[in-house]
Amino acid sequence: MHTVAVLSLKGGVGKTTVALGLASAALRRGVRTLVIDLDPQCNATSTLEPAETDATIYDVLQEPTLDRVRAAIAPSSWGEGVDVLAGAEDAELLNHPDPGESRLGRLRSALRALADEEEPYQLVLLDCPPSLGQLTRSALVAADRALLVTEPTMFAVAGVQRAFEAVQAERAHNADLQPLGVVVNRVRPRSHEHQFRIDELRDIFGPLVMPVALPDRLAVQQAQGACMPIHEWGTPGAREVALAFNLLLARMLRMSRSRRRPVHGDFDDDEIQEAVEA
């Protein structure tokens, strides 16, 4: 089970968009996926439109038993293969700035119980809030990889630096945690400012910056507004974004399978072929 925390410590950079785009790519590829909505805004839950559940992430973080976890999960409206562990506004009440180790380990315990199920998920995406409290830190303790999301703007670059430092610090509680990479969202290729910020990110993070950026396309907001996977929206802009998510998913699965520090750089031929075929 590949468990990936999707995070940024600056709001509004498209963190949930990335989690949903990866879920859409996983659905197209046939990778059984669970999206866990840790953000009290619950945008991922709203877009995926699961049926009403008897529990939410709030209840799971209070009592991480298998029965409670099962009660919080429902199939998404996107189709068989993507499920949702429902978010809740009340989760903000649990977002303690300095939680103890027992609180930080509850989500990890819940996921370990799920991993023993007869048909475990192949991919778990943890959509984190844009703050470094119990919710985000719980995700980092439970995950084996962290995907950092940013925009090509000055303040977003500063936010992803803080997120990277948080990932490194949380390895004291989770030695298996590794940064998967930095993905740059909402890029306008003709913008000199955007290119300057991407170059700045590469100076800071080197090969951790993913070799594909996500273009700024209206189709993303349109698909989310219609509660549809980006792969099913069907416009030229949607197809461009969908291909980028296919590439990211192929890279993410390959790197997670390796369980070693990945070699970054351009996509190899296998990853490109996987993305095109998906």
- The 10s digit of each residue's pLDDT in 129-138 is 999 999 999 9
268 secondary structure, DSSP code:
P
What is d(CA 252, CA 115) in angstroms, rounded to the nearest whole number? 19
What is d(CA 63, CA 110) in angstroms, rounded to the nearest whole number? 9
With cut-offs at 50, 70 and 90, classify the pLDDT of residue 85: very high
pLDDT digits (tens, 9 = 90+) for 36-53: 999 999 999 999 999 999
What the block records as the tokens of 59 is 């209840």
With cut-offs at 50, 70 and 90, classify the pLDDT of residue 274: low
pLDDT for res 260: 46
pLDDT for res 156: 87
Nearest residue to 13 (alpha-carbon basis) of 210, 216, 189 = 216
Backbone torsions φ then ψ of 126, nearest 5 degrees: -105, 105
pLDDT for res 17: 97
Region of residue 265 (left: phi > 0; alpha: psi -120 to 50; beta: else): left
Is pLDDT at 118 greater than 80 in this prediction? no
What is d(CA 194, CA 4) in angstroms, rounded to the nearest whole number? 26
Long-range contacts of 198-202 (CB under 8 A, 24+ apart): 198/152, 200/157, 201/150, 201/152, 201/157, 201/160
| Average pLDDT along the chain | 91
pLDDT for res 265: 52
What is d(CA 230, CA 240) in angstroms, rounded to the nearest whole number? 10
What percent of the chain is modeled with pLDDT above 90? 80
106: Cβ–Cβ under 8 A, 6 or more apart, which residues? 60, 61, 62, 64, 138
Is pLDDT at 267 greater than 60 in this prediction? no
Is pLDDT at 276 greater than 60 in this prediction? no
How would CATH label the architecture of 2-269? Answer: 3-Layer(aba) Sandwich (3.40)
Rounded to whole angstroms, what are the CA distances from 114 to 103, 110, 125, 136, 265? 18, 6, 14, 20, 34
With cut-offs at 50, 70 and 90, classify the pLDDT of residue 60: very high
Is pLDDT at 62 greater than 80 in this prediction? yes
pLDDT for res 61: 96
With cut-offs at 50, 70 and 90, classify the pLDDT of residue 263: very low
Angle of helix 192-205 versus helix 154-170 axis, rounded to 10: 20
pLDDT for res 262: 44
With cut-offs at 50, 70 and 90, classify the pLDDT of residue 119: confident
Under 8 Å between Cβ of 8 and 167: no
Range with the largest mean pLDDT of 179-183, 259-263, 272-276: 179-183
Please, how many CA atoms are within 13 Å of residue 74, restricted to the half-sphere of its CB?
17
pLDDT digits (tens, 9 = 90+) for 142-196: 999 999 999 999 988 888 999 999 999 999 999 999 999 999 999 998 999 999 9
Q: What is the pTM of this model?
A: 0.91
pLDDT digits (tens, 9 = 90+) for 197-239: 999 999 999 999 999 999 999 999 999 999 999 999 999 999 9
pLDDT for res 1: 86
With cut-offs at 50, 70 and 90, classify the pLDDT of residue 111: very high
- How is the chain split into domains, by residue range? 2-269
Mean predicted confidence (pLDDT) in 7-20: 94
Nearest residue to 130 (alpha-carbon basis) of 139, 141, 121, 118 = 139
